[in-house]
Chain A
Amino acid sequence: MKLLVIGSALLSVGGGFAHAQTLLVSGSPATMTVTGATAGSQPLTQTENSTTYTVSALIIQPKKVTAQINTNMPAGVTLTVLLVAPSGATSAGRVALDNIARDVVTNITNTLPQARIVEYQLTATVSAGVIPVSTRTVTLTLVNYP
């Protein structure tokens, strides 16, 4: 009977794990438009940092966040993302996005959700030409680390 109680308690804790690991975003960033340049130099990079992500992990299982886009960027255009790391974790810094999952934050161990800034940068070379308004879906994924 005692084992049954302990087993039930463990099961209850296990049910709580589903709520303990979290990955949320606050919304989508504002439109980024490359509009200017200093004569003789490549166009100016655009930065957008109005959104945040919230993350937490299980104490028994560190996590990492990966990022990828659904379709590669046009030639000459680069989209990077930087996720500020929660306490104890490590940010990969600015990561150029493509359709392959790239590590952006690793060793996430905080069990209480922490919100941090998501910063995008859009860079275009002159060879990219004029690019009409386009969209990409950025997928952030919380997976086990390492």
Chain B
Amino acid sequence: MRASLFAPILALTTAVAPMLASAQTATQTVTFAVNAINQISATGSPSVTVTTATAGSQPTDATDASSTWAVTTNQTGAKISASIPTAMPAGLTLSVNLVAPAGATSAGVTALGTVAVDLVTSITKVAQSGMTATYHLSATAAAGVVGSGTKVVTYTISGGT
């Protein structure tokens, strides 16, 4: 009789104890990817006007270093190139110099034309902003007086792998 009284209690103990301690699990499958990312931006509205010269020399270049640019790429060996939509008037040259982000190489002051030219190369896995873009306008005396004009400079990032 005593055995029959304690048997259910013993059974309860042995049944509940593991349940209190047992772990339950649930699983989810997370699928993810990171695509190639290449972003570039430029800020500022630079203005350059050739106004003077040293007597006996060509007019003095005008420069504007008020602009900055930024880049993000998660690829290797990307480059920045730039072009303008129409050629500069005869005797005028518009150039730009982009400061390179960490680890990349700047081409220095480079004349812009309708064909894209490389400005910064070897850009690898970087996110950097606030880099200076300096514009230069040079004019020969032969250009004469040229009225105000504008050019849209288009920057392109490409070539990363």
Give the A-binding residues of B (Cβ under 8 A).
4-9, 11-12, 15-16, 19-21, 23-37, 39-41, 70-76, 125-130
Q: In the complex, what's the smallest C-beta–C-beta distance from B93 to chain A, in angstroms? A: 28
Asked if A126 contacts B74 (CB within 8 A), the reply is yes
Count residues on chain A whose CB falls below 8 Å from chain B CBs: 66
Report the separation of the CA atoms of residues A33 and B30 in the bound assembly, to the nearest whole angstrom: 11
Among A22, A79, A130, contact of B35 (Cβ-Cβ < 8 Å):
A130
Asked if B34 contacts A131 (CB within 8 A), the reply is yes
Most buried by A among B19, B33, B72: B33
Specify which chain A residues have a CB less than 8 angstroms from the CB of B24 in the assembled complex.
Answer: 21-23, 141-142
Most buried by A among B26, B40, B73: B26
Asked if A27 contacts B28 (CB within 8 A), the reply is yes
Asked if B8 contacts A53 (CB within 8 A), the reply is no
Specify which chain B residues have a CB less than 8 angstroms from the CB of A41 in the assembled complex.
Answer: 72, 127, 129
Q: In the complex, what's the smallest C-beta–C-beta distance from B32 to chain A, in angstroms? A: 5
Report the separation of the CA atoms of residues A141 and B21 in the bound assembly, to the nearest whole angstrom: 12
Within 8 A of B (CB), among A45-91: 46, 51, 53, 58, 60-61, 69, 77, 79
7 additional contacts (CB under 8 A) given A25-B27, A40-B71: A17-B19, A18-B19, A33-B34, A38-B39, A131-B33, A135-B32, A136-B29
Asked if A3 contacts B70 (CB within 8 A), the reply is no
Among A8, A27, A36, A40, contact of B8 (Cβ-Cβ < 8 Å):
A8
Asked if B12 contacts A7 (CB within 8 A), the reply is yes
Asked if B72 contacts A137 (CB within 8 A), the reply is no
Report the separation of the CA atoms of residues A42 and B73 in the bound assembly, to the nearest whole angstrom: 9
Q: In the complex, what's the smallest C-beta–C-beta distance from B13 to chain A, in angstroms? A: 9
Report the separation of the CA atoms of residues A92 and B72 in the bound assembly, to the nearest whole angstrom: 32
Asked if B70 contacts A34 (CB within 8 A), the reply is no
Specify which chain A residues have a CB less than 8 angstroms from the CB of B23 in the assembled complex.
Answer: 141-143
Asked if A139 contacts B27 (CB within 8 A), the reply is yes
